[in-house]
Amino acid sequence: MSVEIARHFFTVAEYERMGEAGIFPEGARVELIEGEIVEISPIGMRHAACVARLTQFLSQMLQGRVVVWIQNPVRLADYSEPQPDVAVLQPRADFYGQSLPTPADALLVIEVADTTLDYDRQIKVPLYARAGVPEVWIVNLNDERIETYADPVDGAYRTTASAGRGDEVRARGVASLRLSVAEVLG
């Protein structure tokens, strides 16, 4: 005898109402991925330091030309609202205070990964590609590399590369954004 299990997939609107109602414990690290509420791993020291370095580098290099969005939600679709470590967004006068950024606003999304490497590669990168985010980087702390993904077509990135210490990565959609892999890794 088989048992059918009914699953409920949450919309972004339902997810946001849950957050506003205080359903999630204070400090809960969750995001909405394809209708499911996913708990995010705690941030370790290397991860936090890398995000801090990226924040400083990007803010200095791109001052006034973009919004550097740190560990905040990006609304990809009706059922997905991840919280990338860094998103480089089109400038907007309200700094996205009236509505969350969407794929059309994203110039570059960066995920910093150590314990979440497989999840970021297998779940989040394809999710960003399906949504049409033009470029994604994974700062792979384990292997000390930055993986780049660009040119989404039919839900997948056509262009991928990997750079190690001694190399630089360059954003395709953000003029003059070049970062030393060694500096990002620390």
Q: For residue 86, what is the domain's CATH number? A: 3.90.1570.10
Output the CA–CA distances (angstroms, integers) from residue 129 to 23, 98, 109, in the order listed. 30, 25, 11
Tokens of 65: 């030309």
Q: Answer whether residue 26 is part of any domain.
A: no
pLDDT of 3 above 80: no
Mean pLDDT of the chain: 95
pLDDT, mean of residues 118-135: 97
Q: Answer whether residue 36 is part of any domain.
A: no
Structural domain harbouring 137: 41-185
pLDDT of res. 175: 85
pLDDT of 1 above 80: no
Would you say 131 and 80 are in contact if contact means Cβ atoms under 8 Å apart? yes
Q: Answer whether residue 58 is part of any domain.
A: yes
Q: Answer whether residue 177 is part of any domain.
A: yes
Q: Answer whether residue 11 is part of any domain.
A: no
Domain tally for the chain? 1
pLDDT of res. 22: 92
Q: Answer whether residue 17 is part of any domain.
A: no
pTM (whole model) above 0.85:
yes
Q: Answer whether residue 6 is part of any domain.
A: no
